[in-house]
Structures are given as C-alpha cells and as structure tokens.
Chain A
C-alpha cells in the first residue's frame, strides 16, 4: 500500500498568517498517461464529514476560497492557507487515489495561535 505521511501533526497559526501542511507519499502518485497527480486534500470540521478542498494536487474545488492552494508533484505535496481565518480551524487530510487501495495521511490539526 502507498503510505501517506503528513507533517506536522498539528500547528497553531495567528489569524492572517500563513499555514503550510506537507504530505509525502511512499511512491509517486503521478499518473503518466494523463500527467495528473492523484492526490486530494480534504478539510474536516468537528462533527462533519470531510470536504474536498483541492483535487489533483492543485485544482481548487468550486466555492473554496482562494487562500487555499495546493502544490507539488510525484511524492511531495503542500497545502497552503495564505491568510488563516477563524473558520479554517479544522483537521486537514491528504489522500492518494492513484492506487485502487486508497490511503490517507494521518491528518494535521490547524488551530489559532
């Protein structure tokens, strides 16, 4: 199975400051035939199911604020919140769907400092 490793486990950021979350896969999730990274970022708020923020490593979902961005390719990926807002307090997960056996990162809890 592809192992997804997120870092840090948690971070506290001041309002308006940048938050950066990293995700590393144990093997490449870049599919050669379409040149897409099969990597998605989810946001999960308490007592809610996860919600897609960024798909294909860097494509923001409709309605997601542009302060959220995704980057990276192959095995290393980053989710950036450019200016943290109070409503961004949540746990963020990366997920690979390159393999038919899907795996998630362990999650990163983002809080306000």
Chain B
C-alpha cells in the first residue's frame, strides 16, 4: 500500500514561488500517475495537473498552464509541485493524490500542505 507524505506548511510573499514535495513510501512512485489537487479555505477541490513519473509525462489544467511545474525524482520516489507568481488567491491546502492509471480514481492522498500567501 503506497502512502504519500507531503512536505510542511509554507508562508510565501505575493509574486514568489513555492515548491511542495510528495514522497511515496511502501511502493514505487514511478509506476503511478500523481496528481496535485488544491482546496482553498472553505472551498471545493480543484485539480491542477499530473505527472506520470515513469515517462516524465505531465499535463496541466488550463488555469495553471503558465505557472505550474510538476516534476519527479524517481531515485527518491518523490514528486514535486512548483507554483510561481503566487497571489493571495493561491492560499490553499495542496494535496498530492495517486491513481492506478491516468483515467482512474484517486486511491491514495497525501496529508495536505498548507500554503499561505500573504504580504
């Protein structure tokens, strides 16, 4: 059973960038697509993008196309989400989530990483 463990909370200034990690334990991360989903305070779930680590294939939601980068380090079973040009609206809980395949449900989630953007 793959478990996903994310890095800790971050506080960032507007205009800066944040990089959040998601490490897999109990399995080989590269075998599965990993998505990033965010949830603003009191709001719903928003899919941001995914990576298939085995092939380094990524696809991003149109909303984030210009400022989101998802990468994977297969040697450490870790996926990274980097979001640039942060604004206050980017304040949210960011989750990584694993699926069995590209068109499968998310069967495992990280614990979430709170990113706060404030001047």
Interface residues of A (CB under 8 A from B): 1, 31, 38, 40, 42, 44, 49-52, 55, 91, 93, 95, 97-98, 100-107
B62/A1 in contact, CB under 8 A: yes
State which size class the interface on B falls in.
20 to 34
The answer to whether the Cβ of B110 comes within 8 Å of any Cβ in the partner chain is: yes
For B107, the closest partner residue in chain A by CB is: A52
Q: Which residues of B contact A40 (CB under 8 A)?
A: 105-106
Q: Which residues of A contact B107 (CB under 8 A)?
A: 52
B99/A97 in contact, CB under 8 A: yes
Q: Which residues of B contact A105 (CB under 8 A)?
A: 44
B109/A49 in contact, CB under 8 A: yes
23 sampled A-B residue pairs with Cβ under 8 A = A1-B62, A31-B103, A40-B105, A40-B106, A44-B45, A49-B109, A50-B106, A52-B105, A52-B106, A55-B105, A91-B44, A93-B45, A95-B106, A97-B99, A98-B103, A100-B59, A100-B103, A101-B61, A102-B47, A103-B47, A104-B44, A104-B45, A107-B44
Q: Which residues of A contact B95 (CB under 8 A)?
A: 49
Q: How far is the CB of A87 from chain B (nearest CB, A)?
A: 19
- Identify which of B105, B109, B110 contacts A97 (C-beta below 8 A): B105
A97/B112 in contact, CB under 8 A: no
Interface residues of B in 68-115 (CB under 8 A from A): 95, 97, 99, 102-107, 109-112
In angstroms, Cα B41 to Cα A38, docked, is: 28
A97/B45 in contact, CB under 8 A: no
Nearest 5 Cβ contacts at the A-B interface: A49-B109, A40-B105, A102-B47, A104-B45, A107-B44
Q: Which residues of A contact B109 (CB under 8 A)?
A: 49-51
B45/A101 in contact, CB under 8 A: no
A97/B103 in contact, CB under 8 A: yes
- Identify which of B44, B59, B112 contacts A101 (C-beta below 8 A): B59
Q: How far is the CB of B101 from chain A (nearest CB, A)?
A: 9
A50/B105 in contact, CB under 8 A: no
Q: Which residues of A contact B35 (CB under 8 A)?
A: 102
Other A-B pairs beyond A101-B62, A104-B44, 10, CB < 8 Å: A1-B62, A40-B106, A44-B45, A49-B110, A51-B109, A52-B106, A95-B105, A100-B102, A101-B61, A102-B35
